Amino acid sequence: MIRTRRLALGLTQDEEAQRAQISWLALSRIEGGGGVPTLAMLERVARAMGTTLTITVGQDAAA
Q: Is residue 27 part of a domain?
A: yes
pLDDT exceeds 70 at position 63: no
Contacts of the segment 16-22: beta carbons below 8 A, 24+ positions apart: 16/45, 16/48, 16/49, 19/48, 19/49, 20/44, 20/45, 20/47, 20/48, 20/49, 21/48
- Structure confidence by residue, pLDDT tens digits, 7-61: 999 999 999 999 999 999 999 999 999 889 999 999 999 999 999 999 888 877 6
Q: Is residue 26 part of a domain?
A: yes
The DSSP symbol for 58 reads: -
Identify which has the larger pLDDT, 63 or 27: 27
Q: Is residue 60 part of a domain?
A: no
Identify which has the larger pLDDT, 63 or 21: 21
**Alpha-carbon dihedral 16, 51, 10, 22, rounded to 10 degrees:** 0
Note the pLDDT of residue 11. Answer: 97
Range of the domain at 22: 2-48
pTM for the model: 0.80
Number of domains the chain contains: 1
* Rounded-to-integer distance, Cα 3 and Cα 13, Å: 9
Q: Is residue 23 part of a domain?
A: yes
Q: Is residue 31 part of a domain?
A: yes
Note the pLDDT of residue 8. Answer: 97
